[in-house]
Chains A and B, each alone.
Chain A
């Protein structure tokens, strides 16, 4: 391309320089044409240069944007990851808090509030043709003596041991709670008083059959139990006070036994 242009330039230049053609009518026209051609060539070159520069600029701008976008994306991913981490931490803390709010810290049994909730639920969903639930209120016999004689730490250890025995004696569907002090409550859903009594008898046998070591001494403990069947329509607290009345009777009758509350409502 360049070679051809150079050849042409030489040819035209020599024609224009030839003195014998000086007055030729085409000489001026050729001179004008040659100048015009060169101007056009220069213009094309300038346009190409500008166009290339613009293209380069746009390309670099695009690369810059892509890099920035990648950077922002990476940053956002990090932000989301860390934020999710904090949320997960909060959720786990919430779950732990909830769990600890329904447990008795000493025995890890359900606490009174949790069992009340459970009873209210059962009472609300009870159907008239089926037993709703039985409550058994347990009280450790002569517990005060342990506290007085061996101290409260020994008493606490005895309660923990008793809680273990109760947990092992009940069915999967039953709940055991520490009601307060040395009082426990067992909630037995969907059973009659007699069926419930069989479960509670297992607890009594378990307590009788296991010595509890306190300060190097082997103690044999017993519990007294009062049981009541929830009656459809009655309030939970009424069921509880009926069980409590039965517990009183069990204590009166000599302890280490179960009394059933079955007086007609």
Chain B
């Protein structure tokens, strides 16, 4: 599988996938000019990984600020995970946030609503 290894910029998060270990990490702020360009490959990777591998997928998020199109992209990824979970795939999300900014934790909890797969929000 073609892996993702995108470094962070001021307006985009770093994105690192590892299909051998079944992990995906997104970290930083996200307000890209073109969210489709940024998140298209991520959604594709998740879709391909879940379709081709019987392995588990652990998504780790360390996202701070998200603009509207990034919120939508993250919801799209969670929808894929939800569908995979429904088909018996072991998928999980861990969302780490800076506990000095409780608001980010609250927003992560809002994302978590309606998700039935393991989803933990951790302040640190």
Residues on A lying within 8 angstroms of B by beta carbon are 75, 78-79, 81-83, 85-86, 89-90, 92
Contact = CB atoms under 8 A, between A and B. Distances in A.
Chain B contact residues: helix, strand, loop or mixed: helix
Nearest to B68: A83
A82 B65 contact: no
A86 B66 contact: yes
Interface string B29-69: 00000000000000000000000000000000000011110
Interface string B62-98: 0001111001100100000000000000000000000
A78 B113 CA distance: 9
Contacts of B107: 82, 85-86, 89
Contacts of B68: 79, 83
A231 B30 CA distance: 52
* Those 8 A-B pairs whose CB atoms lie nearest each other, nearest first: A83-B68, A89-B103, A85-B107, A82-B71, A82-B110, A83-B71, A86-B66, A79-B72
Contact of B65 (A75, A78, A90): A90
B75 A86 contact: no
Contact of B110 (A85, A90, A92): A85
Contacts of B71: 79, 82-83, 86
A217 to B, nearest CB: 37
A223 B52 CA distance: 78
Interface residues of B, number: 16
B31 to A, nearest CB: 9
A82 B111 contact: yes
Contacts of B26: none
Contacts of A82: 66, 71, 107, 110-111
Contacts of A78: 75, 110, 113-114
Contacts of B24: none
Contacts of B15: none
B106 interface: yes
Given A83-B71, A85-B106, A86-B107, 15 more contacts: A78-B75, A79-B71, A79-B72, A81-B110, A82-B66, A82-B107, A82-B110, A82-B111, A83-B66, A85-B107, A86-B65, A89-B101, A89-B103, A89-B104, A89-B107
Contacts of B75: 75, 78-79
Contacts of A81: 110
A86 B110 contact: no
20 contacts: A75-B75, A78-B75, A78-B110, A78-B113, A78-B114, A79-B71, A79-B72, A79-B75, A82-B66, A82-B107, A83-B67, A83-B68, A85-B103, A85-B106, A85-B107, A86-B65, A86-B67, A86-B71, A89-B103, A89-B104
